[in-house]
Homo-oligomer: A and B are copies of this chain.
């Protein structure tokens, strides 16, 4: 099927998806979860073929992301069942007004429509995105990376088997067969069909989507997250938070990349930090004032604008909370930032001044995550201010409409 045909079918299936009851959607999700497990042999075979073709062409990290196992397939199925267990966002009445002329205006949450997702090598995104879109009442159009196409096709075959067993239209979940740039461009240009485009993956992919898309798009993911250690910080707490935010999982977007330290505590805190980071094999990139206190690599011109995604931490000494906030305004990607302080006024000033999706007081930035926020799941972390911001759970994948009931009112 061509990408255009797939888009036409997706648009045609939109009304049916939006009209599914909660019970129907949950039954479909459970049927698809069962089918994933039942088809695990075929999925693993396709995955071996993908891995064989990709070996030598992509990094070991990428190969690991691509690789499936019985356990990973079981986890994907469990993910779908977990989405079934979440409350259905569609149909919620968000507001209700009765106007002086008698019109009753209700603002009701509705499905987004057709959600296109462009992603890279992880095949679990295929089932995750399919589940989130279906539960939120939308049709999905999935366009994965070329190195995962056999696996993705086998996964979607299994999902379609689950849908068909329940008598549902397989067009509810569409997989783009063409993995060339042309198909990504077709999704970005599909005005009137794609209601929302979500890129999931590396910086290059996200930038290309945001810059080229003619359809509404949500920018996700890139996180240059900061921890500011205030002069009123509990330094042991600050150390634990920086350590966790940097080293618990450096490859994710909510990991910290920069530590800003108030000058009043620099002499006390920086040696603690240097010792701990040495234990964790984490390289420090230091501003001149920090380098005067502890050993480390002098920070280069890009080190405060880089998402390292690695065991590297940039460190800068600042004169005040205001200077920390100004540094963040200039260098942050708007994902997550934290202050460590025992001073309530400082905490309030920081949360007011910092314009990021999540602003923390005395906690690690690693909590910016759909599960940790209690959303149950997520489609990614939005770093833009239009539409969803922060973790995008089911509700963040919906829209709303106004239903206005009258008795013949004219204007």
Chain A residues in the interface with B (C-beta under 8 A): 14-15, 18-19, 97, 99, 103, 105, 110, 112-113, 191, 195-196, 210-211, 214, 216-219, 234, 237, 240-241, 243-245, 248, 325, 329, 347, 351-353, 355-364, 366-368, 372-374, 384-387, 389-390, 399-411
Copies held by the complex: 2
A216 with B19: in contact, given A367-B409, A402-B358 (CB under 8 Å)? no
Measured between C-beta atoms, what is the minimum distance from A86 to chain B in Å? 15
Contacts A/B (CB < 8 Å), 20 sampled = A19-B353, A97-B374, A103-B372, A112-B385, A191-B210, A210-B214, A216-B386, A347-B405, A351-B403, A358-B402, A360-B405, A361-B403, A362-B406, A363-B406, A364-B409, A366-B411, A367-B404, A389-B399, A389-B400, A389-B401
Is B386 within 8 A of A196, CB to CB?
yes
Is B386 within 8 A of A352, CB to CB?
no
Is A362 within 8 A of B400, CB to CB?
no
A359 with B401: in contact, given A216-B384, A216-B385, A218-B386 (CB under 8 Å)? yes
Is B355 within 8 A of A401, CB to CB?
yes
Query: Which chain B residues border A325 with CB–CB below 8 Å?
Result: 15
Is B356 within 8 A of A401, CB to CB?
yes
Cα A385 to Cα B400 in complex, Å, equals: 7
Query: Which chain B residues border A357 with CB–CB below 8 Å?
Result: 401-402
A411 with B361: in contact, given A355-B110, A386-B196, A386-B218 (CB under 8 Å)? no
Query: Which chain B residues border A409 with CB–CB below 8 Å?
Result: 362-364, 367
Question: Which chain B residue shows the least CB distance to A98?
Answer: B374
Query: Which chain B residues border A240 with CB–CB below 8 Å?
Result: 408, 410
Cα A310 to Cα B357 in complex, Å, equals: 45
Measured between C-beta atoms, what is the minimum distance from A259 to chain B in Å? 15
Cα A181 to Cα B409 in complex, Å, equals: 43
Measured between C-beta atoms, what is the minimum distance from A239 to chain B in Å? 10
Query: Which chain B residues border A110 with CB–CB below 8 Å?
Result: 355
Is A408 within 8 A of B241, CB to CB?
yes
Question: Which chain B residue shows the least CB distance to A375?
Answer: B97
Measured between C-beta atoms, what is the minimum distance from A198 to chain B in Å? 10
Beyond the given pairs A105-B374, A359-B404, A367-B409, 10 more chain A to chain B contacts, judged by CB atoms under 8 angstroms and listed by A's residue number, are A112-B385, A191-B211, A216-B384, A216-B385, A359-B403, A361-B406, A362-B406, A363-B410, A386-B387, A389-B399
